[in-house]
Structure 1
Amino acid sequence: MSSMDAVNRRSFLKAIGSAGAFSALPEAAFGSSTGIIHEIAVGQDIKPKDTIKFAVCGMSHDHIYGMVGAIQRGGGVLVKWYGAEPDKVALFKSRFPDVPVAASEDEILNDSSVQLVLSSTIASHRAPLGVRVMKHGKDFLSDKPGITTLEQLAEVRKTIAETKRIYGIMYSELLEVKAAIKAGELVQSGAIGKVIQTINIAPHQIEQGANGDKFAGGASKRPDWFWDPELYGGILTDIGSHQVDQFLYYTGSTSADIVESQVANINHPGHPKFQDFGDMVLRGNKGLGYVRLDWFTPDGLGTWGDGRLFILGTEGYIECRKYTNVAVSKQGNNLFIVDRTSQRYIDCNNVPLPFGPQFVSDVVNRTHVAQDQAQCLLAAELVIKAQRAAKTVKLEA
């Protein structure tokens, strides 16, 4: 990321806070003697500054719908798509019935009008596809994990250097979560001092049919590749990539090591290669991190996971309850901050999401405001290394 890109990103994050300086609810409603403040973070919608034509090539995971939505909000126009799995093709066609279907992947790669390609194809296929996309003069945005092996990572970095194209990875638990965006603005403003550590608790649910919509991951039966770490990357590489991206972003770390990592299959004997639990400890040059991942969200939660983010600073701390507030409210985007003077709850549901407009503008202007390219790939590198080094744990019955 250039120094100007960094300034632009910081300025945008600070603008979220100032443009909609908080609308505070009357403290008397909560008891003025408690020192507890409830606020609603507000901000103006982000109007796209640029427009591009983009295509979708592979939709093996339903994350593709959130990815398309982000680019459309940013000014992108979906002009073509291609998929291989009949059930995923039928679902995508039902969502975008007026968008032409390409006859093949090559048709998209050879279409000179397409500037950006999105993909949520099988995880282990994403990086090879992204390399082909970049060699055809287009930018690429992958679902996470965007890369599953160190060999793929080396080829991606080599191709970026040769082509000067963008290889983005949609780490949506940071880029598309309003509470996480607000946490970034608070951290950048120095609200909790220097960040010491991040803790990410990231439970997931395998089948969400009763709780999710048909365009969400897990709403339908998981495909065969979901259970095979050679194809999905393993639990640390897969869902852990979200969390390591956040660790790097909030701590500002530009290098890091995996201190320890472990994985296990606790309760899925029918899929012996699957990993339903994993965790890792990270040590960065500017902060520390811990990540816990699992596939044990019970139906009683009512959503796919009770994702929590904790950011410890020298002068305070932040907690984000991203998707629900257990036994209090089903509303997500809850942020709690404690500093030297107060303890605050901030409802972040009205915070704008910057990624889409910023990424579209990056494609047009050849910048990296929406996502730092080095950080994006470092997150991928760290989770692959954590996965390779992980101890496989077997608990006694």
Structure 2
Amino acid sequence: MKRYDVDRREFLGRLAGSAAALTAASTRSVNARPRQERPVTGPANSTARIRFGVIGLNHSHIYGQTTAVLRGGGALVSVFATESDLATAFLKRFPQAKLARSEQEILEDASIQLVLSAAIPDERGPLGIRVMQHGKDYMADKPGITTLEQLAEVRRVQAQTRRIYSIMYSERFENRATVRAAELVKAGAIGRVVQTIGLGPHRMSPKTRPAWFFERPRYGGILCDIGSHQADQFLFFTGSTRAEVVCAQTGNFHNPQYSTFEDFGDMTMRGNGGTGYVRVDWFTPDGLATWGDGRLTVLGTDGFIEVRKNIDIAGRPGGNHLFLVDQKETRHIDCRDVPLPYGEQLVSDVLNRTEVAMPQAHCFLATELVLRAQAQAQRVDGLPSPRV
């Protein structure tokens, strides 16, 4: 077994509080690798703050999503997936959940206040609409919406129902170094933020990927998918409430056998609080001891922060590294013990009808930026543009 395979599972484990990968690799799931994990039960029903269900297990991010809500005081009630192998693996990790017979069983359970999903990306928006129409709040894996048409309908139903439509931007919510960076920026450690640079390289590992992974109509395109993390961080760290895409590019440099797949993308954004640049790709080489050297740089008027999310190349071990440079010194900050507040904040938002975890307008604007970037992106690899 290659070392990077182990490290990727360790990273997913950190996202999920050591959440399990799956016991059998479904042809409809991403990141399905066998791993032995202890069950996670969360609070007892009598002490739980909310009750929640899960629909759709096609990406193992669902383990991190579930663990975040358990950490926030939620009680997991039930789960539904059309793939029996994915459901079996999930129940081994979360044995307190009941296996629902249908999606409708969860939607019609009046005791459930929140529904989580990591379904195939193009199915997440329509599911969220059904969830909100049943009077429940919703948290989707990213990308939570894959077309501008879906976004318009999600916005309409959200405004009509006043339910929460949250997207788990895990590079910010579930990365401890990024959480610490947010605290430092809020405290004024680097002055006024001018720009963010977000880099999201990934290892492709095509043999581990289901067919939908390579189909742009299903995953939305590389900027919609991976780039959504970076758009979220740009808006958050610059404090922008209005923003536009200045330019965008996508390409398929190395995988012509997948006609609608994109293995490279970048985009530049401008907001009312600063500027942002994003580069995402599927070119992580086998020599790297993790699945991707994800980085975030936040430039301020009095210093800058660099977050090395997964690895400090040829440097300190592990992930969650933060480097702070100000007018006095250069510091490395180990963020392994920084608390992750998103799950607790989201549970409180469900109870109190607030927007502490993430303002609804921010969630939709981050999505709109990447969808517009995807739509206007110039082709840069010399191959014909995919017909989608």
**Structure 1 residue 347 displacement after superposition:** 0.6
Structure of higher RCO (CA pairs closer than 8 Å, 6+ residues apart):
1
The one of 304, 311, 323 aligned to 1:317: 304
Specify the code of the residue in structure 2 equivalent to 1:80.
S
- Whether the aligned pair in 2 keeps the contact of 1:324 and 1:330 (CA below 8 Å) is yes
Q: Provide the secondary structure at the position in 2 that maps to 1:89.
A: helix
**Structure 1 residue 269 displacement after superposition:** 2.0
Q: Equivalents in 1 of 2:195, 2:231: separation in Å?
A: 12
Q: Equivalents in 2 of 1:374, 1:326: separation in Å?
A: 36
Q: Provide the secondary structure at the position in 2 that maps to 1:278.
A: strand
Is 1:359 the counterpart of 2:359 in the alignment? no
- Whether the aligned pair in 1 keeps the contact of 2:48 and 2:75 (CA below 8 Å) is no
**Structure 1 residue 96 displacement after superposition:** 2.4
Per-residue CA deviation, residues 81-132 of structure 1 (Å, 9 max, x unaligned), is 0001243223223322342100000111111011100001010111110011
- Whether the aligned pair in 2 keeps the contact of 1:50 and 1:364 (CA below 8 Å) is no
- Whether the aligned pair in 1 keeps the contact of 2:51 and 2:74 (CA below 8 Å) is yes
The one of 193, 214, 217 aligned to 1:195: 193
The one of 341, 344, 363 aligned to 2:328: 341
- Whether the aligned pair in 2 keeps the contact of 1:254 and 1:375 (CA below 8 Å) is yes
Q: Provide the secondary structure at the position in 1 that maps to 2:221.
A: coil
Q: Provide the secondary structure at the position in 1 that maps to 2:99.
A: coil
Q: Equivalents in 1 of 2:266, 2:348: separation in Å?
A: 36
**Structure 1 residue 297 displacement after superposition:** 1.1
Q: Which runs of 5+ in 1 are unaligned?
A: 1-46, 208-217
Q: Provide the secondary structure at the position in 2 that maps to 1:58.
A: strand
The one of 272, 275, 281 aligned to 2:268: 281
**Structure 1 residue 151 displacement after superposition:** 1.2
Match of 2:377 in 1: 390
- Whether the aligned pair in 2 keeps the contact of 1:192 and 1:339 (CA below 8 Å) is yes
Specify the code of the residue in structure 2 equivalent to 1:152.
Q
The one of 265, 268, 290 aligned to 2:277: 290
Match of 1:143 in 2: 141
Match of 1:300 in 2: 287
Match of 1:7 in 2: none
Match of 1:72 in 2: 70
Is 1:99 the counterpart of 2:97 in the alignment? yes
Q: Provide the secondary structure at the position in 2 that maps to 1:300.
A: coil
Match of 1:236 in 2: 223
Match of 2:130 in 1: 132
* TM-score (ref. length: structure 2): 0.85
Q: Equivalents in 1 of 2:333, 2:93: separation in Å?
A: 34
- Whether the aligned pair in 2 keeps the contact of 1:50 and 1:360 (CA below 8 Å) is no
Q: Equivalents in 1 of 2:173, 2:96: separation in Å?
A: 28
Per-residue CA deviation, residues 303-339 of structure 1 (Å, 9 max, x unaligned), is 1111010011011011000111111133111111111
- Whether the aligned pair in 1 keeps the contact of 2:164 and 2:360 (CA below 8 Å) is yes
Match of 1:259 in 2: 246
Listed as ranges, the matches of 1:14-33 within 5 Å are: none
Q: Equivalents in 1 of 2:131, 2:186: separation in Å?
A: 34
- Whether the aligned pair in 1 keeps the contact of 2:76 and 2:96 (CA below 8 Å) is no
Q: Which has the larger displacement, 75-84 or 94-103?
A: 94-103
Q: Equivalents in 1 of 2:217, 2:197: separation in Å?
A: 27
Q: Equivalents in 2 of 1:326, 1:158: separation in Å?
A: 45
- Whether the aligned pair in 2 keeps the contact of 1:227 and 1:271 (CA below 8 Å) is yes
Q: Provide the secondary structure at the position in 2 that maps to 1:200.
A: strand
Per-residue CA deviation, residues 129-164 of structure 1 (Å, 9 max, x unaligned), is 001100101000000001111111111111111111
Per-residue CA deviation, residues 254-283 of structure 1 (Å, 9 max, x unaligned), is 111111101111111221211000000111
- Whether the aligned pair in 2 keeps the contact of 1:193 and 1:315 (CA below 8 Å) is yes
Listed as ranges, the matches of 1:48-197 within 5 Å are: 51-197=49-195
The one of 326, 332, 345 aligned to 2:313: 326
Q: Provide the secondary structure at the position in 1 that maps to 2:316.
A: coil
- Whether the aligned pair in 1 keeps the contact of 2:77 and 2:96 (CA below 8 Å) is no
Structure (1 or 2) with the larger CA radius of gyration: 1
Match of 1:247 in 2: 234
Q: Equivalents in 2 of 1:344, 1:330: separation in Å?
A: 16
Specify the code of the residue in structure 2 equivalent to 1:63.
H
CA RMSD for the aligned pairs?
1.7
Q: Provide the secondary structure at the position in 1 that maps to 2:356.
A: coil
Match of 2:35 in 1: none
Q: Equivalents in 2 of 1:299, 1:77: separation in Å?
A: 40
* TM-score (ref. length: structure 1): 0.83
Q: Equivalents in 2 of 1:97, 1:276: separation in Å?
A: 37
Specify the code of the residue in structure 1 equivalent to 2:50.
I
- Whether the aligned pair in 2 keeps the contact of 1:50 and 1:361 (CA below 8 Å) is no
Q: Equivalents in 1 of 2:92, 2:208: separation in Å?
A: 18
Per-residue CA deviation, residues 29-80 of structure 1 (Å, 9 max, x unaligned), is xxxxxxxxxxxxxxxxxx9x96111000001111100000100000011110
Match of 1:375 in 2: 362
Specify the code of the residue in structure 2 equivalent to 1:309.
L
Q: Provide the secondary structure at the position in 1 that maps to 2:266.
A: strand
Is 1:204 the counterpart of 2:220 in the alignment? no
Q: Report sequence identity in percent.
A: 57
Specify the code of the residue in structure 1 equivalent to 2:256.
P
**Structure 1 residue 206 displacement after superposition:** 2.1
Q: Provide the secondary structure at the position in 2 that maps to 1:131.
A: helix
Q: Equivalents in 2 of 1:306, 1:221: separation in Å?
A: 20
- Whether the aligned pair in 2 keeps the contact of 1:55 and 1:117 (CA below 8 Å) is yes
Q: Equivalents in 2 of 1:86, 1:294: separation in Å?
A: 32
